[in-house]
Amino acid sequence: MIEFQDVTYVHLNGVKALDGVSLKIDTGETVAIVGENGAGKTTLVKHVTGLLKPASGTVLVDSQSTTATSTAQLSRKVGVAFQNPDHQLFSESVEEEMSFALRNFGFAPELVEQRVSWGLELFGLDEYRKSSPLVLSGGEKKRLTLACILAWDPEVVILDEPTVGQDSIQKEKLVQTIRMLSSAGKTVVVVSHDIEFLWPMQPRVVVMRAGKIVGDGPASKLMQEKELLDSARVAQPELVALYQSLDARPPSPFVDPLDARRWLENGGTGP
């Protein structure tokens, strides 16, 4: 479990990036953190791995304070895929890149080989195994960073803007991967501006504005609160916006446009 207890963080330039944030994320939950640029989303997730330490308040990961634990220790439990893949790729080959963290964590050579093959296959990168990671396309690099994180099987997976540079097929694969992680009991935290990507997963949504949490709840409920979303500069999913513009209130959150069409054809009644 991840817990933020009244956490405040102030950048060196004096800007308050987190302002009294309290949040609990249970094991196995899938949480989406949304909000405008500069709302404090990335700062929030950097506290989970101990990369940033709170100015006041406490961050607990499995009841362990991040202030008293090193990032290296925390990263065994928490895997973060950062926004820019170019900030981490350095090895001579894709497989070496994938094995970097596994070797840091002291995995046995056979297990390293096994985990590398699994990750490369899962993300369709097997053909690049011996290639330099620097020659991959933007989307492939992003997938490689995700594969690198999942290779060591962390309990918590944090994805910071995972859809940047991904085509629609890769986005769909990413949704499936997150669902797979969720069904495997992993805690998944996704920081994203891509509401259409988040909507089908129906996660718990945490809305941030100016370093504060201004909304927290299931996507089906929160995404209907247009005023709240507008104030945090978050767009509504198109499907929800469509229902609202038709002044229709679906009884359950439709995640598939075909279901929505069926519902509308029935005159806006039924499940």
Contacts with another protein, residue ranges (CB under 8 A): 12, 46, 49, 51, 70-72, 75-76, 78-80, 82, 84, 86-90, 100-101, 104-105, 134, 148-149, 152
DSSP bridge partners of 55: none
CB 135 to another protein: min, Å: 11
Instruction: For residue 64, list its beta bridge partners.
Output: 61
Which CB, 186 or 209, lies closer to another protein? 186
Q: Which is nearer to another protein, 72 or 184 (CB)?
A: 72
Question: Smaller CB distance to another protein: residue 7 or 156?
Answer: 156
Torsion region of 69: left, alpha or beta (phi above 0 gives left; psi -120 to 50 gives alpha)? beta
Provide the minimum distance between the beta carbon of 87 and another protein in the complex, in angstroms, as a whole number: 5
Nearest of 30, 70, 3, 21 to residue 159 by alpha carbon: 30
Sheet holding 187-191, edge to edge: 78-81, 156-160, 187-191, 30-35, 204-209, 212-218
For the chain, state the CA radius of gyration: 20
Q: How far is CA 49 from CA 46, 187, 248, in A?
A: 6, 14, 43
Closest distance of CB 64 from another protein, Å = 17
Q: How far is the CB of 103 from another protein (least distance, A)?
A: 8
Of 55 and 134, CB closest to another protein = 134
CB 136, min distance to another protein, A: 12
Shortest spacing between CB 151 and another protein, in angstroms = 10
Residues near 235 by Cβ (< 8 Å), separated by ≥ 6?
195, 229
* Closest separation in Å from C-beta 126 to another protein: 21
Which C-beta is closer to another protein: that of 101 or that of 213?
A: 101
> 34: closest CA among 237, 233, 238, 239?
233
Distances (CA, A) of 247 to 24, 96, 250, 252, 268: 34, 55, 10, 15, 10
Q: Which is nearer to another protein, 154 or 211 (CB)?
A: 154
Q: In terms of CB distance, is 56 or 104 closer to another protein? A: 104
Query: Strand pairing of 78-81 and 156-160?
Result: parallel
d(CA 244, CA 71): 45
Q: In 3-state terms, what secondary structure has residue 97?
A: helix
